[in-house]
Structure 1
């Protein structure tokens, strides 16, 4: 088992025309069924922003202080490839894909609904909402081994795209498309628990 914390760099794709980069943090707990198959419960909190009230025709601009809880299953390539005979395969064993389900709580702390450039144009919506999210992630773990030749801690870098099952991430109800946001993240994972056995040697020079 491992626990982890990390930093995310976010971009929200919503009904606001301008994309703004923001940051958030995450904490997760990993149950390692094997060294390469992981089940993850994760909590995110931070800010999502978008739009520009001064320069866009709609005038839409928002600041969302969000929180999200996600459950993901994660498969690393080391589970399905033989990495003992090839340096290239050994390097790729820590590449992973992951997906799952969760929910996101949206809270608009600042929002502009009326357009300055288009008089009378107004976008309705809700300042607070809860929505289902489907995370899809690809990433890579760098494992650092302890004296038992097992991973003591790991550096995790990845890209995650979060599909929102609704239109409330930005506080605007507009258009026919659903909202989403992406995250580039980096984190550190710490192993907890005792020594475990595995059918394959984890570390190769």
Structure 2
């Protein structure tokens, strides 16, 4: 009698433990891919940047639902300057391609979002960093000042190359909004992202002027502002918190 009671008590406690453990966990897909597009703005040796466009594709591996490593490819147009209004009459257009490996960390990995509706709603906030290469193709550039320039008409050529490959370091700040499928799994992601892209080299604007005559003491940078969509897929893995 006592043995049966102990056995029943043990089984009951075991089932409660398993049930609690299962409730505290969720399953998620280990991979995702996506695409998006938006605007960019350049900050280079040219006095004033302009807006261009960027399209991208991504493939990520989810170490957890909120920690990813992946690859990103970009294609777009970066431009800056104006032959009329620029102090040195410079302007450029760059039709570029780039690829990077990157990692991202979301807020959901760091906080107990199940205790706060506000934290739950912003658990997709993230920061990230990557490294890769950017292939520059200058399709329009002023190498010689026009004859009507106010200063040094006809000066040139401005040094630089029309085609180059530079090291590319993207820094990300963004937000993932998760949407569940009909089975309750996190399946779809709407992504909003701001990215600062540092290039180590002088290929982004096509100008490589001496710093003695022109301001040329900081990396060429372009920022992107994009919206995109991701789809989660692959095998399923368990996570320690409820999603």
Q: Normalization by structure 2: what TM-score?
A: 0.80
Aligned counterparts of 1:195 and 1:102: Cα–Cα separation in 2: 29
Q: Which of these residues, 95, 107, 129, is aligned with residue 164 of structure 2?
A: 129
Residue of structure 1 equivalent to 2:113 = 83
Give 1:80 deviation, angstroms: 0.9
Give 1:136 deviation, angstroms: 0.6
Matched, 1:172 2:207: yes
Give 1:159 deviation, angstroms: 0.5
Give 1:146 deviation, angstroms: 1.3
Which consecutive residues of structure 1, in runs of 5 or more, have no partner in the other structure? none
SS of 2:113's equivalent?
coil
Matched, 1:49 2:83: no
Residue of structure 1 equivalent to 2:237 = 196
Q: May I ask how many residue pairs the two structures share in their alignment?
A: 202
Residue of structure 2 equivalent to 1:2 = 32
Aligned counterparts of 2:101 and 2:169: Cα–Cα separation in 1: 9
Aligned counterparts of 1:12 and 1:47: Cα–Cα separation in 2: 10
Larger radius of gyration: 2
Which consecutive residues of structure 2, in runs of 5 or more, have no partner in the other structure? 1-30, 210-215
SS of 1:194's equivalent?
strand
Q: Which of these residues, 23, 26, 31, is aligned with residue 56 of structure 2?
A: 26
Q: Deviations over 1:110-155 (max 9, x none)?
A: 1112223221433211111100011111000010001332211100
Q: Structure 2 matches for 1:17-166, cutoff 5 A?
A: 17-116=47-146, 117=149, 118=151, 119-122=153-156, 123-166=158-201
- In 1, are the aligned partners of 2:54 and 2:224 still within 8 Å (CA)? no
Over aligned residue pairs, what C-alpha RMSD do you find?
1.2
Give 1:176 deviation, angstroms: 2.3
Aligned counterparts of 2:65 and 2:190: Cα–Cα separation in 1: 14
Give 1:20 deviation, angstroms: 1.1
Q: Deviations over 1:39-69 (max 9, x none)?
A: 1201001111111012222111111010000
SS of 1:192's equivalent?
strand
Aligned counterparts of 2:236 and 2:45: Cα–Cα separation in 1: 50
Aligned counterparts of 1:90 and 1:60: Cα–Cα separation in 2: 49
Aligned counterparts of 2:203 and 2:49: Cα–Cα separation in 1: 16
Aligned counterparts of 1:40 and 1:194: Cα–Cα separation in 2: 17
Q: Normalization by structure 1: what TM-score?
A: 0.94
Residue of structure 2 equivalent to 1:14 = 44
**Shift >3 Å, 4+ stretches:** none
Give 1:177 deviation, angstroms: 2.1
- In 1, are the aligned partners of 2:46 and 2:91 still within 8 Å (CA)? yes
